[in-house]
Amino acid sequence: MNEYANYIDILPLENVAFVNGNILTLFINATFDRMLVEEFSFSPSTDTSDAGTLTSINQTFYAEKCTDVIALRYHKQRPCIIQLTKTDGTTLILGSKPFPIYVNILPGIQRNSIYASLKTPEPLSI
């Protein structure tokens, strides 16, 4: 079982220059949003049909309160790349340029809910 660090990095797709597997390159002066999250685990589901295999993720992360600027940036679904860091230091990239993960943040009173949704024909190396 993989254990992940207590944060996720959300990278809006317009800030990403290149992504291939777990190799990620940002544009110059591009930034990402780091969110401190509660402990989580996830397992993508795969569906096989005549058209091939489709991997999907529908995940909710519970995070500490973020700034109003970040909450406004993700108030509706936005195409992104999410970078997860495992406790051993390796990273896992969710999403790609042609198949981004869609993220939105729902602010709460004490914490935020981060909803992430991905459907891709590309296999995930978890």
Q: Is the pLDDT of residue 50 over 70?
A: yes
Q: Is the pLDDT of residue 125 over 70?
A: no
Contact 92, 84 (CB under 8 A): yes
Strand duo 45-49 + 112-120: pairing? unpaired
Residue 60, domain member (yes or no): yes
Residue 78, domain member (yes or no): yes
Q: What distance in Å separates the CA atoms of residue 32 and residue 35, rounded to the nearest whole number?
A: 10
pTM: 0.88
Residue 119, domain member (yes or no): no
- pLDDT of 46: 86
Residue 79, domain member (yes or no): yes
Q: 111: which 2 tokens?
A: 């914490």
Q: What distance in Å separates the CA atoms of residue 125 and residue 21, rounded to the nearest whole number?
A: 8
How confident is the prediction for the chain on average, in pLDDT? 88
Domain encompassing residue 86: 4-35+42-110
What is the rounded average pLDDT of the residues 116-123? 86
Q: Which residue has the higher pLDDT, 53 or 117?
A: 117
Residue 118, domain member (yes or no): no
Domain count, the chain: 1
Residue 124, domain member (yes or no): no
Residue 22, domain member (yes or no): yes
Q: What distance in Å separates the CA atoms of residue 44 and residue 103, rounded to the nearest whole number?
A: 16
Q: First CA to last CA across the chain, in angstroms?
A: 10
Residue 85, domain member (yes or no): yes
